[in-house]
Amino acid sequence: MAKIIAFYNNKGGVAKTTTATNVAGVLSLQHKKVLLIDGDPQGHTSLTFGVNADNLQTTLGAYLSSHWTAKQASDYFINVNDYLDVVPSNQSLSDFIISVSAEETKFRNKYLKNFIDPIKNDYDYIIFDMAPAVDIILENIVEIVDDLIVVAVPETYAVKNAETTLKITDDKHVTVRSIVPTKTQLNTNTHKFMLNNLKEVAEAHNIKMTDTYIPNLIAFSEAVSIYELPLALVKDSRYKKTQKYCQNLVKELGY
């Protein structure tokens, strides 16, 4: 039975997609079967693997709008390797959200559950890369998620949003597994100071912050731009040291 993980923060640009795709990559290298689902209409999850979803018909929004299950859609998943499949998203996910907004909450928050239920035994992990939004997709995630992971950059705006995010998750009675600091620059006093603030925010909500910090390194965007892969999956020995951060994170999270 798959464990369901979602990477979330209601702020953009904090490395939700980078972290979700790299965690999925590491797990696939460990021969865990992973389904990585793009929960953001911006479509960056599949773009990380070189697939621009803008003109695709076979996306999450289309599946949810047509009441398709993941079982029915599985022939159209993007097969990255033997262990990693990706469900892309595009603008049709926003169209879906608008189209169901008038439905009663108890109906409109079950779409993702209905989508993944039939394939829960086919995967070890189902990972959602989420949008920086408080929307119907978040409502749906709350219904199914085992581990919600909040990623945050140790800067004033992002720490404030981490706090807002934890208020949202408290309100929705979702347990946050951990806060993961990303894009850290520990050679700066600002980041050291703000990491402390981030830790205090976590503790105020009884949430752990991981000891693994993902440092701010160009290798993460380089991997996507040059290799069309998350860093964790690039076969280039120059990246070995940086890849270790992703492996350590997966280990610390206990996956």
Ligand X SMILES: Nc1ncnc2c1ncn2[C@@H]1O[C@H](COP(=O)(O)OP(=O)(O)O)[C@@H](O)[C@H]1O
Which residues make up the interface to Mg ion (CB under 5 A)?
Answer: 16-17, 44
Cβ closer to ligand X: 17 or 140?
17
CA-CA distance, 215 to 153, in Å (whole number)? 10
Cβ closer to ligand X: 119 or 163?
163
CA-CA distance, 186 to 192, in Å (whole number)? 6
Cβ closer to Mg ion: 38 or 119?
38
Shortest distance (Å) from residue 61 CB to ligand X:
18
Residue 14 site contact among ligand X, Mg ion, none (CB < 5 to 8 Å, cut-off depends on kind): ligand X
Cβ closer to Mg ion: 11 or 16?
16
Cβ closer to ligand X: 20 or 119?
20
Cβ-closest residue to Mg ion? 17
Residue 220 site contact among ligand X, Mg ion, none (CB < 5 to 8 Å, cut-off depends on kind): ligand X
Shortest distance (Å) from residue 17 CB to Mg ion:
3
Shortest distance (Å) from residue 17 CB to ligand X:
3
Shortest distance (Å) from residue 15 CB to ligand X:
4
Q: Which residues bind ligand X (CB under 6 A)?
A: 12-18, 44, 182-183, 214, 216-217, 220-221
Residue 118 site contact among ligand X, Mg ion, none (CB < 5 to 8 Å, cut-off depends on kind): none
Shortest distance (Å) from residue 35 CB to ligand X:
18
